[in-house]
Amino acid sequence: MINTIRAVVAQPLFFLFDHSIRKFFIFVSLFLVALFLLGANIHIYNMSFSLLNQKIVTEEEISENTVNTVTIEKGDTLNNILKRENISNEDIQKIISIAESKNLTLLKIGKTITFEYTLNLIENDGEELTTEQKTLNMISFEIDNTKSVDIVKSGNNFSTEINSVPLTKLITKYETIVDSNVISSLKTTGLSSNSIVSLINTYSHQIDFQRQIHPGDKITVITEKFVTADSKLSHHGDIIYACIETQGNEYEIYKYSPTGGKEQYDFFSSEGQSIKSTLLKTPIKVVRISSTFGYRHTHPVHGYGAMHKGVDFSAPVGTPIYAAGNGVVEFVGWVSGYGRIVILKHSNNLSTAYAHASRFASNLKKGSNVRQGDIIAFVGTSGNVTGSHLHYEIRENGKQINPANFKSAPSIQLTGMGLAKFNKFKNQISHLHSKLDDNIEIAAADIKEINLF
Ligand SMILES: [Zn+2]
């Protein structure tokens, strides 16, 4: 409590004033702390027990299957594909030797290899999903429409199985109006946690889920759904389309490939811009969303304002922090108030800062090149903080600007014929949208008019 109040009052000031003035403000802050505590105590006594009980956090571990299907292209080798999946060298050797014995290393262009992983997630009170590591379960080689050969991992060993019952791919629409919490609202629709995480990560260039989503907002997701022969859900596949309606704005994303190739797809906005932009709006991949919407907006430490020139993302200690864009490390070290901080330079006038880290990525030093999405540091509590979080700043010409207002250039802008083709695709998705009423599913094989990859 004391820490919370102190940081609310003092943290923003730490960033603004130098040493001598700072001392004066610490004094004033402590005085305000005393005043706040008096008020807060009265408030706590007035709270009912049921309210206090809600503070108990229950942690639940969820395991879900997630898959990645790779379509074999010209020039692919099994070794390259396994490397792209980040499989360990030790496992790659075992997989290749077993694949050779079953004639699976002669890859056929156009066939698929599906990787099935277990994704472990931690859920707190049904509000937070924390991405944990993926573990490989199985690699499935498509032989024809009804048969696959699976390399199954058990412990450290691999064995093969012939699988002749294929999964059916359905296209389903999920719709929800956000109530107090975005994750629980999405979960009530039947969307798997793994899909919710990928939805939020896909939107990480455009939407700050910790601040921009409000009760009453509408979320629509059209996604692939794989079911077994007895109609049981196996897993959700790729998101095909999603729309978030918030505060009078519509954020639509379309899974689309400008070349028509299965592997070159990207997510595009309704204006035909790839949503991957020069800077990420959310440089962490953890999905942690507080249910107290109103409080968050007025909280001076969490939001951007005259006194707080950045945005805070609460996340557990050790959560990876990603480079928001391609750039060069300008500073890595300790700055008073900020604690452990990384500053990246993206262009002559644009830089980003990531503060309060617990540690830096190994090998990260001044002058290192980083790419968007590289891990640069880990969330912590260093410097002047109240709890573990990332303090993120975007700086233009050395001055902090509000990340919510920052518009970064899209990496692809479709124009001319390309845009016309995309607009046609959008119309087809819109037809599909109206065909798919909530929870009504269409077999992907029956959707002939749209190239859904
Ligand atoms: Zn901050």
Structure tokens at 196: 């919710």
Mean pLDDT over residues 47-69, rounded? 57
| pLDDT beyond 50 at 230 | yes
Residues contacting 75, CB < 8 A, separation 6+: none
Under the phi-then-psi rule, with left for phi > 0, alpha for psi from -120 to 50, and beta for the rest, what region is 10? alpha
DSSP 166-194: PPEEEEEEEEEE--S-HHHHHHTTT--HH
Q: How far is the CA of 381 from the centre of ligand 1 (A)?
A: 11
| pLDDT beyond 80 at 432 | yes
What is the tens place of the pLDDT at every residue in 394-416?
Answer: 999 889 888 777 877 777 899 99
217 vs 388, residue with greater confidence: 217
CA distances from 429 to 252, 254, 451 (A): 11, 9, 10
Q: How far is the CA of 33 from the centre of ligand 1 (A)?
A: 19
Q: How far apart are CA 301 and CA 9, in angstroms?
A: 9
Q: How far is the CA of 63 from the centre of ligand 1 (A)?
A: 33
Q: How far is the CA of 353 from the centre of ligand 1 (A)?
A: 11
CA angle 181, 183, 185 (to 5 degrees): 65
Mean pLDDT over residues 227-249, rounded? 89
Average pLDDT of the residues of the chain: 79
Q: How far apart are CA 306 and CA 327, in angstroms?
A: 27
pLDDT at position 306, please? 61
What is the tens place of the pLDDT at every residue in 22-40?
Answer: 555 555 455 444 444 444 3
Q: How far is the CA of 348 from the centre of ligand 1 (A)?
A: 24
Q: How far is the CA of 296 from the centre of ligand 1 (A)?
A: 13
Helix (H) or strand (E) holding 250: strand 249-256
Helix axes 19-46, 2-16, angle to 10 degrees: 150
CA distances from 13 to 6, 121, 377 (A): 11, 37, 25
Instruction: Give 313's strand partners.
Output: 390
Three-state DSSP at 69 gives strand
Dihedral of alpha carbons 308, 314, 316, 320, sign: negative
Alpha helices for 128-253 (secondary structure H)? 182-187, 193-202
* Single pTM value for the model: 0.62
Highest mean predicted confidence (pLDDT) among 270-274, 300-304, 309-313: 270-274
Dihedral of alpha carbons 374, 73, 269, 225, sign: negative
Alpha carbon of residue 75 to chain centroid: 31
Helix (H) or strand (E) holding 211: none
Helix (H) or strand (E) holding 87: none
Q: How far is the CA of 304 from the centre of ligand 1 (A)?
A: 8
What is the tens place of the pLDDT at every residue in 118-176?
Answer: 877 776 665 666 656 678 999 999 887 667 889 999 888 898 888 776 788 899 999 99
Q: How far apart are CA 277 and CA 206, in angstroms?
A: 8
**For residue 13, which of 312, 396, 307 has the smallest C-alpha distance?**
307
Q: How far is the CA of 54 from the centre of ligand 1 (A)?
A: 26
CA distances from 413 to 252, 258, 452 (A): 15, 10, 21
Highest mean predicted confidence (pLDDT) among 102-106, 258-262, 341-345: 341-345
Q: How far is the CA of 276 from the centre of ligand 1 (A)?
A: 25
| pLDDT beyond 50 at 191 | yes
